[in-house]
């Protein structure tokens, strides 16, 4: 993992355009992480996991508690069938 500031991006833009590792971009004054840059291969895996979690979260909000419980019991079986 690499931690850089916004001024480092100006000096070496490849930190952002061609990342080789997870890069945290820190606010130069407050030293708070503001952004994260991922290599593309890692991004593809993370994106899929995030989409899965958003899907489950939206279903939880839309369904009643009993329907959501039933869905959560069925969902792993369906995932196995899809693979």
17-74 pLDDT, tens digit each: 898 899 999 988 888 999 999 999 999 989 989 998 898 888 888 888 888 888 888 8
Give the domain ranges of the chain. Answer: 2-37, 42-82
Say if CB 4 and CB 24 are below 8 A apart. Answer: yes
14-29 pLDDT, tens digit each: 988 898 899 999 988 8
Whole-number Å distance between alpha carbons of 82 and 77: 9
């Amino acid at each position: 993992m690499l931690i850089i500031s916004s001024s480092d991006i100006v000096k070496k833009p490849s930190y952002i355009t061609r990342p080789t590792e997870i890069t945290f971009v820190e606010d130069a004054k407050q030293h708070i992480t503001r952004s994260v840059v991922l290599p593309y291969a890692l991004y593809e895996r993370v994106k899929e996991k995030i989409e899965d979690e958003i899907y489950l979260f939206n279903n939880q909000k839309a369904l009643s508690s009993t329907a959501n419980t039933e869905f959560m019991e069925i969902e792993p079986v369906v995932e196995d069938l899809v693979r």
